[in-house]
Amino acid sequence: MVTPAKHQPKWLLAEPDKRLGILLDQVNEMCTIPESAQRVLELTRSHDADIVPVVDAIMKDPVLAAELLRLANSPFFGQTREVVDIRRAVIILGMQELHDIAAAMSMLGAFSTASELSSRLRAQSVLSATLARYLAHEIRSPNESAAFLTGLLCELGAMACVAVDPDGYEAIWQSAGDDVGARATLEVERYTARSETIGAELLLRKNLPEIVATAVGTTDDTTQDVLSRVALFARRAAQLLVIASETADAVSLGAAIPALGEQLGFSNIEGSALTNMCISAATTAELSLRGEVTLVEEEEEDEAAGEQASTRSTDLSIEITDTHPASAASGEGKGQNKTAVRLAAQSEERSISPLAIAGIAIAGIAIATAIYFFFS
């Protein structure tokens, strides 16, 4: 059923050449960043900002404080001891990275909704961020932090569309399915721009680094900009991981990741190494978000005596222990909310290992539940 014109949003009624600007204005109006987070952003604009007021401002935003501590304790910063002090977290991150990450987290939080699609996009963003940093490290890029930030914000435009146009973007998503090209075409038809472009424009309006905005907005596979190619790989690899987690198809993933690397100019990294890097990144993302992962593997041997098995069946039991404060407050399970998942997978001899499949399953669990704990 066609929505009557009088009930359609202002941006949709505008002339095509003005539609994007009006849409961006509405996003800024609807998705506001908390004043406490804005104060942190103001104080951290300078590299030599005074740490005392910065720490005080962060302490007034419990959500941001918790996420910065979580990030400082993540594998990315290699701390040997747990970071429990905001001041220490600020020193570890540094003012510039603190500013950019605080801005990114605040924007993601402001653009988030309770819809399943918004949750899925947030999850893919977290996966993309980890993938981007892993790849940047692998190619010895000096911009690992920028790569992480770019990955984290790669679906910002789509999340903004979900926030201001939930029914419209849901229809685009359902119609396009896993076809990225179809999704882009439908986005341009409705918004006059792809979601990547929308995300980049929003970042520029919020004064985030131009190199990050450029990378987020890039859709050209032939770009020579390394950060943009890293962003493209991270975004698409995250989508492949999500699909693999839903289908338990490790073989297809093992072929798709190397092909993606070849397409985007990372052919110097051997295919299986690139795939395993992606699995490790997915596992790291999950560990950073949720906590502890315990893996129990029960392998069924081929019954044919003396015959070399060409395939094998592996039953993976993955138990994830979550220590989210809400669980502790409710007293349920003494602060531990456990989710058990079993995945039966057929993997060929040449495919990635059962442990790698476990990594895919972990990424899948993140899509369903873990992201809630990151933003709540």
Question: Which of 21-35, 151-165, 179-193, 328-342 shows the lowest per-residue confidence on average (mean pLDDT)?
Answer: 328-342
The stretch 63-82 carries a mean pLDDT of 82
pLDDT score for 244: 87
- Contact present, 234 and 150 (Cβ < 8 Å): yes
* Residue pLDDT, tens place only, 115-153: 999 988 988 898 999 999 999 999 999 888 899 999 999
Instruction: Give the strand pairing for 311-322 and 291-300.
Output: antiparallel
What the block records as the tokens of 334 is 């003494």
pLDDT score for 352: 40
Alpha helices in 206-270 (DSSP H): 210-217, 226-247, 250-263
Question: How far is Cα of residue 192 from the mean position of the Cα atoms in its chain?
Answer: 25
What percent of the chain is predicted at pLDDT more than 90?
43
What percent of the chain is predicted at pLDDT more than 70?
74
Alpha helices in 2-94 (DSSP H): 10-13, 16-30, 35-43, 51-59, 62-72, 86-93
What the block records as the tokens of 326 is 């809400």
Neighbour order of strands in the sheet with 311-322 = 291-300, 311-322, 337-348
The residues, any chain, with a CB within 8 Å of residue 318's CB and separated by 6 or more, are 293, 294, 295, 296, 340, 341, 342, 343, 358, 361, 362, 365
Query: Who has greater pLDDT, 323 or 9?
Result: 9
The residues, any chain, with a CB within 8 Å of residue 232's CB and separated by 6 or more, are 218, 219, 221, 223, 264
pLDDT score for 288: 59
Tell me how long the chain is: 376
Question: How far is Cα of residue 27 from the mean position of the Cα atoms in its chain?
Answer: 20
pLDDT score for 96: 84
Longest dimension (CA), the chain: 75
What confidence category does residue 289 fall into, taking pLDDT thresholds of 50, 70 and 90? low
pLDDT score for 87: 93
Range of 42-46, 170-174, 336-340 with top mean pLDDT: 170-174
What confidence category does residue 282 fall into, taking pLDDT thresholds of 50, 70 and 90? confident
- Give the span between the Cα atoms of 309 and 187, in whole angstroms: 48
- Give the span between the Cα atoms of 201 and 196, in whole angstroms: 9
The stretch 269-282 carries a mean pLDDT of 92
- Contact present, 151 and 133 (Cβ < 8 Å): yes
* Residue pLDDT, tens place only, 307-338: 333 333 333 222 323 333 333 333 333 333 33
Asked if pLDDT for residue 305 goes beyond 90, the answer is no
The stretch 243-265 carries a mean pLDDT of 91
Nearest Cα residue to 12 out of 117, 181, 156, 168: 168
- Give the span between the Cα atoms of 362 and 365, in whole angstroms: 5
- For residues 259, 200, 26, 3, the Cα torsion angle rounded to the nearest 10 degrees is -30
The stretch 183-198 carries a mean pLDDT of 97
- Give the span between the Cα atoms of 239 and 226, in whole angstroms: 20
The stretch 11-16 carries a mean pLDDT of 92
Question: Which of 157-161, 250-254, 257-261 shows the lowest per-residue confidence on average (mean pLDDT)?
Answer: 250-254
The amino acid present at 121, given as its one-letter code, is: L
pLDDT score for 290: 58
Question: Which of 5-9, 44-48, 317-321 shows the lowest per-residue confidence on average (mean pLDDT)?
Answer: 317-321
- Contact present, 289 and 371 (Cβ < 8 Å): yes
Query: Who has greater pLDDT, 314 or 254?
Result: 254
Instruction: Give the strand pairing for 337-348 and 311-322.
Output: antiparallel
For the chain, which domains are there? 8-284 (1.10.3210.10)
CB atoms within 10 A of CB 8: 12
Asked if pLDDT for residue 357 goes beyond 90, the answer is no
- In DSSP terms, 319 is beta-bridged to 294, 340
Average pLDDT, the chain: 77
Question: Which of 12-21, 211-220, 308-317 shows the lowest per-residue confidence on average (mean pLDDT)?
Answer: 308-317
85: DSSP letter: -
